[in-house]
Structure 1
Amino acid sequence: MQMQDKTTCLDTVSVSTGLKISKKKTELMKINTTNSTPVIIGGEEVKETEAFVYLGSVVDRQGGTDRDVTARIGKARAAFIMLRKVWASRGIRRATKLRIFNSNVKSVLLYGSETWRTTRATQHRLQIFINTCLRRIFKIRWWDRVSNQELWDRAGQKPIREQILKRKWSWIGHTLRKANSSITQQALTWNPQGKRRRGRPKNSWRRDTEEEMRSISTSWQDLRKKAQRRVQWKNIIGGLCPGRGEGPK
């Protein structure tokens, strides 16, 4: 009933200020609960949903990133197709095409990737999409026998895992430089209350991050101090991404 009480309070305050909650646009998503009691607004039951879009990213009940990655690939593919005349043009330098690809396609693909819970399967899907785009830009056919590593060298690209890791830790540094009262900073080290389900816990963004922290022998407390010095923070990112790494073949 706590959710119902908060919703009723929000509805009451909204009405008192001349605002009205749209019942058609309002949806409810329940996570880790067996409570089936519906939430009512203005005498109507709020529709439950499995996923919703927030600030361009897909949030689902399972807490994973598969749906968001699928949506990102679809939007990036649409952006790539819209620029097909650019890729086919002989009057545009290849270096210019790559800059357009990075700014208009790859930026769409990796939007929100700083908070993705990435798996090998996820990285593989993203890498395949990027490789396909680059091969079309370079007009490389399958019989040309150009390896992915050679393709990345030609395009000046790094494996997708390294790109996501760099974006992620750049965002962490930006977040740690915020005030201690910042919600985003508090969320980095916040531990949810209650008991988890039995069995092996699923991998998460937090567990991945802490594993990366152990690889460079540091803690959240140390990171907060180092984040205040941007040069030192860049060295931390360099330690996490020392080389080109290996991408899917």
Structure 2
Amino acid sequence: MCKLINVAGKCGLKINDEKTEYVIIGRRSREYQQGEFMEIDNYKFKRASHFKYLGSIITQDSDLKMEMDSRILVGNRCFFGLGSMFSSKILSTKLKIQLYMTLIRPVVLYGSETWTLRKVEEKRLAVFERKILRRIYGPCIDSDTREWRIRHNDELKNLFQKPDIISEINRRRLMWAGHAWRK
């Protein structure tokens, strides 16, 4: 940190200790609980548990829960912002799927190349996607009771005919791994 302060001073920059925070990242980050502040020279830096870097949330214990919450929240905002389009009878189902694939899904999958998903996160993303697909395809008439009902998961999968969101994440991770390996 002293090097950073010295180099910044040579360039004419001043460090604002009220705006500067630090995070210790790693599995053992809780062991380094020295206090809430770090003091170097005349500066006092506050410790943070997470920060946002290039749109992705990085936590001290590398947990994806906050990132998933953020991504699904932003996806929901896009979805409800386009709600009138998804409920429109004028637009075709094909166009609604295209809207989902080009406007909502990329927002949710931003930064997914580096995610290590557990079953909990996979389930949350699948539920999010099925919610949107149910809105796009709408209800159907049950052949037995002749009443309207929501579509079942297997019906949505048969209608969608595209890779689901988890498959897309796995594909992106493999592409990113190949890119990193070629470097």
1:23 deviates by 2.4
1:27 deviates by 1.1
Structure 1 residue runs without a partner (length 5+): 1-6, 179-249
- Residue by residue over 1:65-86, the C-alpha shift from the partner in whole angstroms, topping out at 9 and shown as x without a partner, is 1110111000110011111121
- Structure 2 equivalent of residue 220 of structure 1: none
Query: 1:82 corresponds to which letter in structure 2?
Result: G
2:50 matches 1:56: no
Residue pairs, 1:95-134, within 5 angstroms: 95-134=94-133
User: Which 10-residue stretch deviates more, 36-45 or 149-158?
Assistant: 36-45
User: 1:134·1:151 contact (CA, 8 Å) conserved in 2?
Assistant: yes
User: 2:112·2:169 contact (CA, 8 Å) conserved in 1?
Assistant: yes
RMSD across aligned positions (CA): 2.1
CA–CA distance in 2 between the matches of 1:20 and 1:153?
A: 59
- Structure 2 equivalent of residue 167 of structure 1: 172
Q: Which has the higher strand share?
A: 2
1:140 deviates by 2.5
Label 1:82 to 1:42 Cα distance change in 2 as closer, same or farther (>3 A). Answer: farther
- Structure 2 equivalent of residue 23 of structure 1: 17
- Structure 1 equivalent of residue 43 of structure 2: 44
User: 1:58·1:68 contact (CA, 8 Å) conserved in 2?
Assistant: yes
Label 1:41 to 1:93 Cα distance change in 2 as closer, same or farther (>3 A). Answer: farther
Query: 2:81 corresponds to which letter in structure 1?
Result: M
CA–CA distance in 2 between the matches of 1:42 and 1:97?
A: 58
Structure 2 residue runs without a partner (length 5+): 142-147
User: 2:20·2:45 contact (CA, 8 Å) conserved in 1?
Assistant: yes
CA–CA distance in 2 between the matches of 1:89 and 1:42?
A: 62
3-state SS in 2 of match to 1:39 = strand
Query: 2:34 corresponds to which letter in structure 1?
Result: S
Q: What is the TM-score of this pair, normalised by structure 2? A: 0.84
Runs of 4+ in structure 1 deviating by more than 4 angstroms, as ranges, are: none
Label 1:145 to 1:104 Cα distance change in 2 as closer, same or farther (>3 A). Answer: closer
3-state SS in 1 of match to 2:58 = strand
Identity %: 29
For this pair of structures, how many residues does the alignment match? 172
3-state SS in 1 of match to 2:51 = strand
- Residue by residue over 1:102-125, the C-alpha shift from the partner in whole angstroms, topping out at 9 and shown as x without a partner, is 111111111111111211111001
CA–CA distance in 2 between the matches of 1:106 and 1:18?
A: 43
1:172 deviates by 0.8
- Structure 1 equivalent of residue 32 of structure 2: 34
Label 1:97 to 1:40 Cα distance change in 2 as closer, same or farther (>3 A). Answer: same
CA–CA distance in 1 between the matches of 2:95 and 2:18?
A: 45
User: Which 10-residue stretch deviates more, 48-57 or 148-157?
Assistant: 148-157
Query: 2:162 corresponds to which letter in structure 1?
Result: Q
